[in-house]
Structure 1
Amino acid sequence: MTRFIPRLHLLAAAAIIGLVVSGQAYAAAIDEPATPATAPSDKKPDAKSETKPDAKPSDSKAGTSKPAETKPAPEKKSDREFRDGYKQAYDLIYKQKDYAGGITVLKTLGHDDHPDVANLVGFSSRKLGRVEDAKTWYEKALAADPKHTRTWQYYGMWHLEQGNRLKAEDHLEQIRLICGQGCDDYTSLKSALEGNSTY
């Protein structure tokens, strides 16, 4: 009987390890973002980026200065809330093709400056036909992380849609310099450039 008890402990430990590993395999199956704490850039947006576009400059005739109106930024989520929200947005965008819904969820995360978030908003905007919005978000993602190959890939596809093949080829070269010719982002954009896949 005493030999049987340690075996139970070993079996229980093996079962727990199996659950942990299968949970990690599931998490790796989606395009998992870096946590905000470990993201390449976790800068707070400057005051300019929070200013409404229609905010009026100071009134020079009256000699008084009016402060620019600012839109309050959404509260930043914890790492766990961020990952859960990102996964929800990812599912809406890639599985349900609900691009507007995905953008809404991503914007509630409070991490617009995160490269994974900005890239996914750019992708969704492109799919909704919001060409200039997509460009703005792709550039925001690359400003946060210039080595974000998924953004280089998606932005390259954006350029293809705009008829700018040379710029898409530049983005392909940028991906090659970062991760080589074997990485998924390189092969995907190369396939689109060769006309073998849709984008």
Structure 2
Amino acid sequence: MNEKLELLNNALAEKLGEKILRSTVSRGELTVEVSAADYLPVAYALRDEPDLRFEQLVDLTGLDYSTFSGQDYPSRFAVAVHLLSVSNNQRLRLRVHADDDSFPMLDSVCQVWPSANWFEREAFDLFGIVFGGHPDLRRILTDYGFVGYPFRKDFPVTGYVEMRYDQEQGRVVYQSVTIEPRENTPRIVRDENYGNAGRG
């Protein structure tokens, strides 16, 4: 950890104390993890504390750790928030895990950083993470009738439903997926005799 990150880590430890569950450095940035219960108070502290002053939310994304084989995490779904302090020229990654895998829910941070609005809608649309207190939580990328959450690891690659234009009805219709399963392994791997034709 370089000196700048160490100073930031110390400032975070001083201001947030036991609210920080874990602190690591990855890809040249500090990552702190907090509980779902502390997420909103920590967000306000990160924005308002003079030594921190993370005024800008750059990105927020959902995470699905269901097939993650690295570090052990407390739950399947999480959110990672990338913050920028223009005042202090610092970056920070904040990660929080939802408590309930069957209905992942976290507080919305739109009231702290308004730029979180569409990012939270995207995380809801693609991962099914619900943000309590969001001013307009609805799908943003998929169709209104879309079933499921396409960025979850257990969502089928082909999806569940496809749509097509029906000439007779003069409108778009939805139907079950009709894509035939196909072999995606290159022939040189699946055919033992590939390339040996004509050799004698």
TM-score over 0.5 for the pair:
no
Normalising by structure 1, we get a TM-score of 0.28
Normalising by structure 2, we get a TM-score of 0.28
Which has a greater percent of helix?
Answer: 1
